[in-house]
Structure 1
Amino acid sequence: MPLKNIAVAIKKSLDEKQMVMYFKYSPLQQEIEQLGISGKVAALDCSKTTLTNGICIADEIMPIDANLGVNKANFFVKRLMTMKLNIKAQGLINHVFSTTFINNSSSNIYPGGPYKNYHQIYLPRKAIIKTVFLDSDQINDYEVNNINQFKIVSLLAEIPPQKTRTVRIEYDLKLPDYDGKILHQLVVQKQIGALNNDFVLEYNFDEGIQLVRRNFTALAKGNSLIYNTTLSNDRIFLVEFTIKH
């Protein structure tokens, strides 16, 4: 294979987080981290955002899946992730994040079989957890741990062959009492080695909230924005708005 093709393949793997880099030499590792190819969990930080002179809300989500079954069922699993954000006039952002798991394994025979998934969701530490659902059933059998800047919600979900299950979590982030422009920065981090899954982002704005600008092209419908994409790498979504008190 020509060296050019190898270089292109390596770049694609780094861009899509199928490959990450680590070096013991600290100055070089810092350069790798700045390039975003170290696999490090991104910090909740608005300092590099120059879109606004107003308030910036650093928001982030990173779903992590681990197959605990003695099989290769994760190879057969497809995911659809949806994030619905409701910007409320009373000063909070309501989040509804759901992941639908589709197990296309044909039977219980190895390498297929049930997908026993230890599912973790990294959220901002200030997130207020409201409910967690597995399909239509509200569950309480989950763990919440605070580590550094993050609140990590963990649960076990089993998806049998040829079945579909959905994990849904609802949580809030409070907005500051501010009359100027507010920038919402949402970082969606892709798990290292994960497939390029479909991702749907939806913003809904209460009456009295005015959208100023955004950094992505979306379908605008009434007081809503809908954006469909593939999560092939980490994404940063910026939405600026004002709230009339």
Structure 2
Amino acid sequence: MVLSKVDFETYKNLVSQMTIIVEKLPDILGGEKSKTYLVLFENNMELRPTGGFIGSYGLLTFDNGRLSDFAISDVYSADGQLNGHVEPPAPIRQYLGEANWWLRDSNWDPDFPTSAKRAEWFLDKEMDKQVDGVVSIDLYPIKDFLEVSGSIFLSDYNMDITSNNLYEKVQSEVQDNFFPGTHKKASFLTALSRTILDEIGNLSSSQKISVLKLIYESLEQRHVQLFLHATDVQKSISALNWDGSVFIPSCDGDCFSDLAGIVEANVGVNKSNYFVKRSAEVDINIKGGEINKTLTLTLQNSANTNLGASGRYKSYVRLLVPENSTNINVTSTFGQNYQVLTPEITDSKGRKEIGIITEVLGGENKKLIFSWTNKTDGVLNQYGFYFRKQAGIDGFPVSIKVTTPVKVLGSNPVFASQCSKSPRNAPLQGGYEYCYNATLVRDLFARILF
């Protein structure tokens, strides 16, 4: 009954926050004053912390409730205007080999509001442009739109774009024979964007409903993220978890609120994420005033070995955990090889980031194993586990096992009470086991009551 009441309050809050946003739409769309938003086109085939490499950006302007301008530019054209030196985060300098920080790498912080503000700062310094907010979008919503609309024809390129060939065409048009200063990338994305906007008007009523649904799912699954200067609207966006922020949910009473979030950053200067799949296993053991956790991330690279460096996945991987985490260890396994790694551990805004560099060649599988501990105050009556999904990645298999010293009274989502061959609900040597398996397409908020 408790969980049902909590769920009711959650849906009630969802409706309330969306109502606020709808009421503010006239202002968002420039009803009284023209509004311009920075749109970051993040190519998730080259994964970065907030979705993907920022290869292009757009300035989206609304006036009197109508779209008045949408100008798309190549990010290198803007970065070429930056005067002076901006020191990059250490991993960008060390692993990406960049001595300077630019708009194209501004999304290094997985917390989207932080990266959005940084992107605005670079836009101001490079192009003397100020905006009213930032929107990020990766390739998944475009692919989903094409599944609804069917193929679209780019007349300037004499080319049909479908959901099946989108990645191939984007790669060919924006990456092949690219050099800084060319307008090739911006021209193609402009043609694609304008054709999609025109196509929306030609959709049937049922197709338009499907588009609204995919927009909602894109926000829920972090393929689109929003950061607006209108504080009342942004507060509602944040409450809906559409702002891409990193946080640890609050937890009242004798409760421990936990966080785990995997953040990958492709630093190989290629589009190898097209070939990369992942899965995660989380083992949580609650006992004696401690919570000991192990997270195993498996990375599988299906790239053909003939691709060489262009198929190699070189990634700076971070695990986000609570700031009071201790006993941190990281190892990796590849085939019969086992290696103890020395992580780079930093404190950042109420969390710890455990970072390591890794490479997965074409045809290889590699496991990264993180372990850490948190202390608890007294006996718990509730445990909350927040598994944060990174922007820019598709759903991936997640398996969670929780071992507790006492029987669980309830959980949401429901954890199976039999993880092994032991009799149902029988105490094991380490306590009672409960398991949950799912495909992580959005953030997971799990609650367990004791």
Bin of the TM-score, shorter chain as denominator length: 0.7 to 0.9
* 1:41 partner SS: coil
1:96 aligned onto 2:294: yes
Answer yes or no: is the 8 Å Cα contact 1:17–1:192 preserved in 2: yes
Alpha-carbon deviations, 1:176-219, whole Å to 9, x = none?
123xx52111111111111111111101124xx23222112232
Taking a change above 3 Å as real, the CA distance of residues 9 and 110 of structure 1, as seen in their structure-2 partners, is: farther
1:217 aligned onto 2:414: yes
Q: Which runs of 5+ in 1 are unaligned?
A: 48-53
Residue 15 of structure 1 deviates from its aligned partner by 1.6
* 1:177 partner SS: coil
Structure with larger Rg: 2
Greater fraction strand:
1
* 1:132 partner SS: strand
The residue aligned with 1:159 is 360
Task: Name the structure, 1 or 2, with higher relative contact order (CA <8 Å, separation 6+).
Answer: 1
Matches within 5 A, 1:172-211: 172-178=373-379, 181-206=380-405, 209-211=406-408
1:137 aligned onto 2:338: yes
* 1:75 partner SS: helix
Aligned counterparts of 2:260 and 2:281: Cα–Cα separation in 1? 11
Residue 12 of structure 1 deviates from its aligned partner by 1.7
The residue aligned with 1:58 is 257
1:229 aligned onto 2:438: yes
Residue 129 of structure 1 deviates from its aligned partner by 2.9
Q: Letter of the aligned partner of 2:385 in structure 1?
A: L
Aligned CA RMSD, in angstroms, stands at: 1.8
Q: Which runs of 5+ in 2 are unaligned?
A: 1-202, 419-425, 427-431
Alpha-carbon deviations, 1:59-103, whole Å to 9, x = none?
011110011112111111100011111112x22111011110000
Q: Letter of the aligned partner of 1:7 in structure 2?
A: L
Alpha-carbon deviations, 1:102-122, whole Å to 9, x = none?
001112527951100100110
The residue aligned with 1:30 is 235
The residue aligned with 1:150 is 351
Aligned counterparts of 1:84 and 1:154: Cα–Cα separation in 2? 20
* 2:257 partner SS: strand
Answer yes or no: is the 8 Å Cα contact 1:120–1:153 preserved in 2: yes
Aligned counterparts of 1:42 and 1:158: Cα–Cα separation in 2? 29
Matches within 5 A, 1:232-243: 232-241=441-450
TM-score (ref. length: structure 2): 0.49
Give identity over the alignment, percent: 23
Taking a change above 3 Å as real, the CA distance of residues 25 and 110 of structure 1, as seen in their structure-2 partners, is: farther
Alpha-carbon deviations, 1:201-241, whole Å to 9, x = none?
101124xx232221122321242111110111011111122
Taking a change above 3 Å as real, the CA distance of residues 19 and 111 of structure 1, as seen in their structure-2 partners, is: farther
Aligned with residue 71 of structure 1, among 263, 270, 278: 270
Answer yes or no: is the 8 Å Cα contact 2:293–2:373 preserved in 1: yes
Residue 138 of structure 1 deviates from its aligned partner by 4.2
The residue aligned with 2:280 is 81
Comparing 212-221 with 30-39, which one deviates more in the overlay? 212-221
